[in-house]
Protein backbone atom coordinates (compact mmCIF):
# COMPACT_ATOMS: atom_id res chain seq x y z
CA UNK A 1 0.00 0.00 0.00
CA UNK A 2 1.45 3.36 -0.99
CA UNK A 3 1.48 6.57 1.03
CA UNK A 4 -1.08 8.08 -1.33
CA UNK A 5 -3.54 5.25 -0.81
CA UNK A 6 -7.14 6.43 -0.48
CA UNK A 7 -7.64 4.04 2.43
CA UNK A 8 -5.07 5.85 4.61
CA UNK A 9 -6.01 8.43 7.23
CA UNK A 10 -3.90 11.13 8.87
CA UNK A 11 -4.20 11.00 12.64
CA UNK A 12 -2.77 13.64 14.96
CA UNK A 13 -1.20 12.40 18.17
CA UNK A 14 -2.92 13.92 21.24
CA UNK A 15 0.37 13.88 23.17
CA UNK A 16 3.08 15.17 20.84
CA UNK A 17 1.05 16.54 17.91
CA UNK A 18 2.80 14.41 15.29
CA UNK A 19 0.82 13.52 12.18
CA UNK A 20 0.66 9.78 11.56
CA UNK A 21 -0.46 8.11 8.32
CA UNK A 22 -2.48 5.03 9.24
CA UNK A 23 -3.83 2.60 6.67
CA UNK A 24 -7.08 0.70 7.06
CA UNK A 25 -5.09 -2.55 6.71
CA UNK A 26 -2.77 -1.60 9.59
CA UNK A 27 -5.76 -0.72 11.77
CA UNK A 28 -7.37 -4.10 11.05
CA UNK A 29 -4.19 -6.09 11.72
CA UNK A 30 -3.02 -4.29 14.86
CA UNK A 31 -6.27 -3.04 16.38
CA UNK A 32 -4.59 -0.35 18.47
CA UNK A 33 -2.41 2.05 16.52
CA UNK A 34 0.37 4.03 18.23
CA UNK A 35 2.16 7.27 17.35
CA UNK A 36 5.39 6.74 15.45
CA UNK A 37 7.14 9.44 17.48
CA UNK A 38 6.05 9.00 21.12
CA UNK A 39 4.25 5.60 21.04
CA UNK A 40 0.98 7.02 22.50
CA UNK A 41 -2.15 5.15 21.44
CA UNK A 42 -3.98 6.99 18.66
CA UNK A 43 -7.72 7.25 18.37
CA UNK A 44 -8.94 5.65 15.19
CA UNK A 45 -11.59 7.35 13.05
CA UNK A 46 -14.31 5.18 14.54
CA UNK A 47 -13.59 6.67 17.99
CA UNK A 48 -12.77 10.17 16.72
CA UNK A 49 -16.30 10.98 15.61
CA UNK A 50 -16.89 14.17 17.62
CA UNK A 51 -15.99 17.70 16.59
CA UNK A 52 -13.18 19.37 18.53
CA UNK A 53 -14.29 22.17 20.85
CA UNK A 54 -12.28 25.30 20.10
CA UNK A 55 -11.97 28.42 22.28
CA UNK A 56 -10.24 31.77 21.84
CA UNK A 57 -7.35 30.32 23.86
CA UNK A 58 -7.02 27.06 21.88
CA UNK A 59 -7.75 28.44 18.40
CA UNK A 60 -4.13 28.76 17.37
CA UNK A 61 -3.21 25.21 18.37
CA UNK A 62 -6.41 23.55 17.14
CA UNK A 63 -7.02 25.45 13.91
CA UNK A 64 -4.06 27.52 12.73
CA UNK A 65 -1.51 24.75 13.31
CA UNK A 66 -3.69 21.90 12.08
CA UNK A 67 -2.02 19.86 9.33
CA UNK A 68 -5.51 19.20 7.95
CA UNK A 69 -8.02 21.69 6.58
CA UNK A 70 -10.49 22.69 9.32
CA UNK A 71 -14.27 22.98 9.06
CA UNK A 72 -15.11 25.38 11.89
CA UNK A 73 -18.74 25.67 13.03
CA UNK A 74 -19.40 29.04 14.69
CA UNK A 75 -22.58 28.65 16.74
CA UNK A 76 -24.45 29.67 19.90
CA UNK A 77 -26.64 27.56 22.21
CA UNK A 78 -29.68 29.88 21.86
CA UNK A 79 -29.63 29.69 18.03
CA UNK A 80 -32.27 27.33 16.59
CA UNK A 81 -30.58 26.84 13.19
CA UNK A 82 -27.28 26.18 15.03
CA UNK A 83 -28.92 23.42 17.06
CA UNK A 84 -30.42 21.99 13.85
CA UNK A 85 -26.94 21.91 12.27
CA UNK A 86 -25.39 20.15 15.29
CA UNK A 87 -26.24 16.64 14.07
CA UNK A 88 -24.89 17.41 10.58
CA UNK A 89 -21.63 18.70 12.07
CA UNK A 90 -21.37 15.56 14.25
CA UNK A 91 -21.86 13.33 11.18
CA UNK A 92 -19.27 15.30 9.21
CA UNK A 93 -16.75 14.86 12.03
CA UNK A 94 -17.06 11.09 11.70
CA UNK A 95 -17.22 11.03 7.90
CA UNK A 96 -14.22 13.33 7.36
CA UNK A 97 -11.85 12.03 10.04
CA UNK A 98 -8.30 11.97 8.76
CA UNK A 99 -9.11 14.28 5.84
CA UNK A 100 -10.71 17.37 7.44
CA UNK A 101 -10.71 18.38 11.08
CA UNK A 102 -14.19 19.40 12.25
CA UNK A 103 -14.40 21.87 15.14
CA UNK A 104 -17.01 23.97 16.94
CA UNK A 105 -16.64 27.44 18.47
CA UNK A 106 -19.33 28.96 20.69
CA UNK A 107 -19.42 32.65 19.65
CA UNK A 108 -21.00 33.77 22.93
CA UNK A 109 -18.14 32.34 24.99
CA UNK A 110 -15.41 33.17 22.43
CA UNK A 111 -16.16 36.54 20.83
CA UNK A 112 -12.56 37.31 19.85
CA UNK A 113 -12.36 34.70 17.08
CA UNK A 114 -15.85 35.52 15.81
CA UNK A 115 -14.86 39.20 15.58
CA UNK A 116 -11.53 38.36 13.95
CA UNK A 117 -13.33 36.69 11.03
CA UNK A 118 -16.19 39.22 10.91
CA UNK A 119 -18.90 36.70 11.72
CA UNK A 120 -22.22 38.54 11.92
CA UNK A 121 -24.65 35.68 11.35
CA UNK A 122 -24.78 32.18 12.78
CA UNK A 123 -24.49 29.38 12.05
CA UNK A 124 -21.42 30.13 9.97
CA UNK A 125 -19.10 27.42 8.73
CA UNK A 126 -15.55 28.47 7.90
CA UNK A 127 -13.17 26.26 5.97
CA UNK A 128 -9.62 27.14 6.97
CA UNK A 129 -6.21 26.00 5.76
CA UNK A 130 -3.27 27.06 7.93
CA UNK A 131 -5.50 29.62 9.67
CA UNK A 132 -6.66 31.27 6.44
CA UNK A 133 -10.29 31.17 5.36
CA UNK A 134 -10.68 29.43 1.99
CA UNK A 135 -14.49 29.14 2.04
CA UNK A 136 -17.45 30.41 4.07
CA UNK A 137 -20.96 28.99 4.37
CA UNK A 138 -23.53 31.14 6.19
CA UNK A 139 -26.80 29.75 7.52
CA UNK A 140 -28.04 26.21 7.99
CA UNK A 141 -26.75 23.99 5.19
CA UNK A 142 -27.62 20.41 4.22
CA UNK A 143 -24.84 17.86 4.53
CA UNK A 144 -24.55 17.27 0.73
CA UNK A 145 -24.02 21.02 0.15
CA UNK A 146 -21.25 21.13 2.74
CA UNK A 147 -19.57 18.04 1.30
CA UNK A 148 -19.78 19.52 -2.20
CA UNK A 149 -18.00 22.69 -1.04
CA UNK A 150 -15.36 20.66 0.78
CA UNK A 151 -14.73 18.45 -2.25
CA UNK A 152 -13.34 21.49 -4.10
CA UNK A 153 -10.38 21.63 -1.71
DSSP state of 62: I
Quickly count: other Cβ atoms within 10 Å of residue 48's Cβ: 19
| Identified catalytic residue from 16, 35, 38, 82 | 82
Question: Active-site residue 38, yes or no?
Answer: no
- Positive/negative CA dihedral, 133, 135, 140, 145: negative
| Identified catalytic residue from 16, 35, 38, 79 | 79
* Whole-number Å distance between alpha carbons of 103 and 48: 12
Minimal CA–CA distance to 130: which of 63, 58, 62? 63
Q: Which helix (H) or strand (E) holds 75?
A: strand 70-75
Q: Are 42 and 22 a contacting pair, CB within 8 Å? A: yes
The residues pairing with 19 across neighbouring beta strands, listed in sequence order, are: 12
Enumerate the H helices of the chain as residue ranges.
Answer: 24-30, 59, 80-95, 111-116, 143-151
The catalytic site residues sit at 79, 82
Amino acid sequence: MTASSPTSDLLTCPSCGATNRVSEQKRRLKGTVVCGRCRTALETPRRQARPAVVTDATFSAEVERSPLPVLLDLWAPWCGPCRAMASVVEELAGDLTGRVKVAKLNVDDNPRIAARYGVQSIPTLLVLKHGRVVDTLVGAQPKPAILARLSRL
